[in-house]
């Protein structure tokens, strides 16, 4: 049975290790490819999706949001449990809802939230090697917090932008940058209206550079002002990065995601 095309929003969680990122590729080994194949198996026709954020290879998501249009009528259970039955175990639809045609997973979003999970311990991890970054020397978390505060606001973040970034402008607005520590675990949470390619991982690398004592807190402000990626430390591993939330105006009334504490280490 089919009907007039509807726009459907879908909440997704995934372990990004083993996938070539979000964006569809000819190889077919991306998260978007896997989701579209599963949706097509339920719809019986090709489905194309649009995501709130295109995560890189190895990056995870606790709260990705996508939308797609279809004239195929299926119960919500089919779009959730049915689609999940066709997905690899590392990907799971969390919820689905029909939205107005004006909703857009990417352009309707007002902010994205990322968390970087870092293990700060002399010995590298084993069980979470694909789910956390690692740094072996003791870090000054207080200095990292002070440096992170210098990045909050609207700035040109060229110093933290990948050479492959295709964004038209390097200007973004970071609303908050919080750093918490629980034992050997350091959690770096960043919320912004949007992010440049590798922006979070490059910021984390610079915070670690300050935390290990290689540079002063003031150096972060200088690095930001220089707008030169060549002056910044290396990009941190994708393993520790999670898309933890996408914010939309209340008018869309999207469902809430289930708690993702096992993935995010005792949130």
CA–CA gap between residue 110 and residue 192 (Å, rounded): 8
Nearest C-alpha neighbor of 114 from the set 60, 58, 170, 49: 60
The region that residue 58 occupies, defined by phi over 0 for left and psi between -120 and 50 for alpha, beta otherwise, is left
CA–CA gap between residue 256 and residue 143 (Å, rounded): 35
3-state secondary structure of 205: helix
The region that residue 28 occupies, defined by phi over 0 for left and psi between -120 and 50 for alpha, beta otherwise, is left
What letter would DSSP give residue 72? Answer: E
Helices (H) and strands (E) in the chain, counts: 7, 10
Residues tagged active-site? 56
CA–CA gap between residue 39 and residue 37 (Å, rounded): 6
CA–CA gap between residue 194 and residue 53 (Å, rounded): 9
Q: Residue 33 belongs to what H/E stretch?
A: helix 31-43
The neighbouring-strand residues paired with 187 are 117, 180
CA–CA gap between residue 157 and residue 101 (Å, rounded): 33
């Amino acid at each position: 049975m089919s009907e007039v095309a509807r726009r459907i929003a879908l909440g997704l969680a995934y372990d990004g290790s083993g996938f070539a990122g979000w964006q569809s590729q000819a190889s077919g080994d991306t998260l978007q490819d896997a989701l579209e194949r599963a949706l097509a198996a339920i719809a019986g026709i090709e489905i194309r999706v649009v995501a709130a954020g295109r995560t890189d290879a190895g990056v995870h998501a606790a709260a990705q949001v996508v939308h797609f249009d279809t004239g195929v009528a299926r119960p919500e259970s089919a779009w959730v449990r049915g689609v999940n039955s066709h997905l690899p175990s590392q990907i799971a639809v969390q919820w689905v809802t029909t939205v107005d045609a004006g909703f857009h997973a990417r352009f309707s979003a007002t902010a994205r939230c990322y968390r970087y999970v870092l293990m700060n311990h002399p010995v590298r991890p084993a069980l979470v090697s694909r789910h956390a970054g690692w740094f072996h020397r003791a870090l000054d978390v207080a200095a990292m917090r002070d440096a992170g505060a210098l990045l909050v606001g609207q700035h040109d973040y060229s110093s933290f932008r990948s050479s492959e970034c295709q964004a038209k402008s390097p200007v973004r607005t970071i609303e908050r940058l919080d750093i918490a520590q629980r034992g050997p675990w350091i959690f770096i949470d960043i919320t912004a209206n949007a992010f440049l390619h590798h922006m979070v991982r490059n910021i984390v690398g610079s915070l670690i550079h300050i935390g290990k004592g290689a540079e002063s807190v003031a150096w972060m402000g200088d690095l930001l002002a220089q707008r030169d990626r060549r002056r910044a430390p290396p990009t941190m591993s994708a393993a520790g990065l999670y898309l933890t939330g996408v914010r939309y105006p209340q008018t869309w009334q999207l469902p809430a995601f289930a708690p993702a504490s096992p993935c995010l280490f005792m949130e």
